[in-house]
Chains A and B, each alone.
Chain A
């Protein structure tokens, strides 16, 4: 693959990096990343990965753009209200970089479609807003041996974790199962500061780029947490659980399944 003059200019700040260079940029152009959730986390991840020249980006979401999304979901504009989020996200990504291929998946991910949805992709960004989807994506990625980045946000706090098959714990090793509905924050508790998904979603995109180019150390084996009020990042070492229901020695989960959705998640 040789670069056109336009590509050399567009990706010049990557190409001059020793860690990316010509080879890394070619790896990015050949890579396929799926972003599940075109919301707060998916917005910066999709925009940065499109700008970076990730050659194929899938974006999955069932929702339409709502006025209440725009405080944090920066891929969508006021004029997009009422459009499917995947359509609005595709337009914004294509406007930044017409060089890439964007595939939209308009609908909910569920046990019935998750395997075929993730199959074509090299890396998955989990940017969903509810526990059933987070566990479904974790289980499907573990069972299909797909690397993924989990991101979670609430109020002034955020967290992320990177799963690579055989290289550390999965999301279920740490959280076991979704919390009972009465432990999920109520509507009045479920606010989130607008910049939080910007920070966590950008970190997830960074993990995807590091995975694709093989540079640096991934977050595998750790959870990174960010407390905006305290202005502090913490990297907490975590271990794979031998008795994990999906990635443990004797897994009881051998195929993805759906949990019942609870209302008013963030």
Chain B
């Protein structure tokens, strides 16, 4: 049996053991691993998660029992201090000596600490191990201001951690920009503004000359004679490969550190390999985990005598994680010495910067930078790595194809999708076909794709869906794992079986205990069918959060209050009431885009009291929280306007009062304009009405929002009564047939036969269902009740509106700031 000794039980050392055990039987190799750290190997890449979840188990690559089960002898807490190459033995500081046939050095690296005066002072830390983090967490309990030296990938991650530890945080960078190895100046500018928005102070062009303080550090001094008072410093100025052991046995090391290896990862001694962050390959240290795993693979390949693989240079594309800001760079981000044509998109308002470098012939993507929005990272990386042909307008790569078409870029089978586990697109497709995999979770388990850092998960899902489509498998539009039915089928079941509650439906045709997808969906179906009070009869636990509290939840957990103001018409007296209520409860007030008034910042326990006052003054719920009718906007119309043909205000009030409270697949909006100048913007609404000389034109399926679409004419020159009749039919038909969360515009776009078919159904009654639709709508109109009125008058329902059940105090963590004389909620999370 061949004796393998591994020095270093870090990420790569562990992966090597795992791969070797997976490739060969236990009787072929005896494996011993030495680790200096007391813990079993842990995931250093996600080390920062330790700040929010200080559990070592959570980070472990595998539990200690894994080593036993796999016959891997782990000796942790023992530093190896010498190697005897002639005798082929290694010896630890405790004097343990053990012999090897093949030795693998996976000693990783340590933090590089620049030789600055005062670095030895108390309060100066590095950021590499769990012990480092424990020390930082303990020290930060007594400090308020911290600095991070180094504005690279790791430094920014450390800075975010300091912010989470409630420190006033500063980043000191020597270069004139952040992440100098990944970003250009404009990219860095964009990142700086994002970091500053998070509350992190950035200082660039700063050369630290001294760390001041007497024993404990109290500040930093810079070469430009400025200084900064901070009580703590985390140094993240680069890494220093751990090559000290290699030096003691005369293996070659590089001038700036690192154990020299060839393409087979052999050191000067063919029986000694070096892998991971300690290895210097072609003058390069790879400070990332994926190339380290690849190196482990290459060595395993040789040990089992396949000798097919050698290590080639590795892609260093990176995406910053954890910090709440999207930053990525790939390929050659600068192309300083390569002729190229850059395409740059910049949105200073949103802090977005994107740059892609296109080859001079316009045929390939050489590299790029993404700041503020890195959604396209995976796709761009693939295009770049695989030298794929570019679309006719390469700018589509970062702007998206305009005109609604898919980009239609198909990846070659050789495209590496998961770099952590080295899985290609071909591997994934093959596994789907050969193993008959039926869902994405199975794909991940079977191929390991997406089980490392997880960054490739979206693209794995795309490949899965694409492959399913190719195999002719139609993915049925079922609601979720609890119901094998579409929304439409569920609605039919509810009607036919007269099902009145979610639990009953789940027991009759569902399985399991439901989830956040099917519960609100069924809630909406029940409400559109039976129109019962949505907080009673067990309906409350299936409502989406806004419906559950009959108010829109806001940052910080407060709610907004929107009384209905039909048609946007309001009396001075009612305006005064709104003002008084807002003043009394200290609510932020704003005129909405829907011609009404929103009062923000109410605590959950204040909601019933606020509504009680509003209802007493004649207001009712505006359903701003529901997937239901929002507003029917109006223009001033013939009453005042010199062009007005009909009284648009009266008609909009009538329309709004008819459909108020109606639950639907998505929200509904409407408007009535008094003439074709269209001041109410009716043609952008789900249903919009415009006065004509002889009556009204009814338009449907318009949409503002993210994909604006003009409404189309359903019927022209009709009288008010016909108009309402058609709207009844139209809305009920939509409610019955739309997929969940599809607005009317999306619904129409998918409706076979399109507008002509819709006109046939609604106007010509081609399906013979018009009367039923009208009846069903009339039922909804007749059973309408203001939900808030019911809550205000029902002590049992009122009880639900409190933060704690065992004390009357409100949520003590709510925090407010001030802006232009009104309050506003404190920024998301992480209070400074």
A binds B: no
